[in-house]
Amino acid sequence: MRCIVLSDTHGHDDDVRWMLQQAWKDIGPVDYYLHCGDGAYDFMRLENFIRARDENALQYGVMGNCDVGVPGVPDQRVLPIGGAQVFLTHGHRYHVKSEYGYLDEVAREKGCSIALFGHTHIPFWEQRQTLLLNPGSAKDGHMALLEITNGKPKFKLLAF
């Protein structure tokens, strides 16, 4: 399963449209579009744009600390993708600006082998008990391509 991972769009959905168009030149169909918060409304505005390219792609987002009052968007999700359990969160509730141990532990307790998060605006990855992956801030030109096959992830951080 091929996933585009975005975070921290902060109202820059036009820039994200351009980034996605650039990324699509080099990658095939995408199965999932995942948004790690702070731009929940942006992600909703992108739905039809994404659907025009990847008609059957599933789109999931979570709320970040700047997403106030967005109806129907949870602050975390556990998603089965490609044989793995993926924990999707913004990260602010797990203190990711100061350490990653709490996020790693919570993801593992939820049965996840991958934790996707944002909040810091800095692209980051680290293999702990889980794969911790932050695509960086989309408003600053960052996203990630995550592929999961038989539960095994591989990814590429993208910058535009």
Q: What is the pLDDT of residues 27-43, one digit of tens each?
A: 999 999 999 999 999 99
Q: What is the pLDDT of residues 95-132, one digit of tens each?
A: 999 999 999 999 999 999 999 999 999 999 999 999 99
**3-state secondary structure string across 61-106:** ECCCCCCCCCCCCCCEEEEEECCEEEEEECCHHHCCCCCCHHHHHH
For residue 57, which amino acid is it?
Answer: A
CATH number of residue 38's parent domain = 3.60.21.10
Per-residue pLDDT at 15 exceeds 90: yes
Q: Count other Cβ atoms within 10 Å, centred on residue 1.
A: 17
Block residue for tokens 């602010």: 92
Q: Count other Cβ atoms within 10 Å, centred on residue 124.
A: 16
- What pLDDT is stored for residue 17 in this prediction? 97
Distance CA(156)–CA(147), nearest Å, equals 9
Mean pLDDT, the chain, as a whole number? Answer: 97
- What pLDDT is stored for residue 69 in this prediction? 86
Number of structural domains (the chain) is 1
Share of residues in the chain with pLDDT > 90 (%): 99
- What pLDDT is stored for residue 139 in this prediction? 96
- Find all residues with CB under 8 Å of 103, minimum gap 6, and list them: 89, 91, 94, 95, 96, 115, 117, 132
Domain holding 155, by residue range, is 2-159
Per-residue pLDDT at 65 exceeds 90: yes
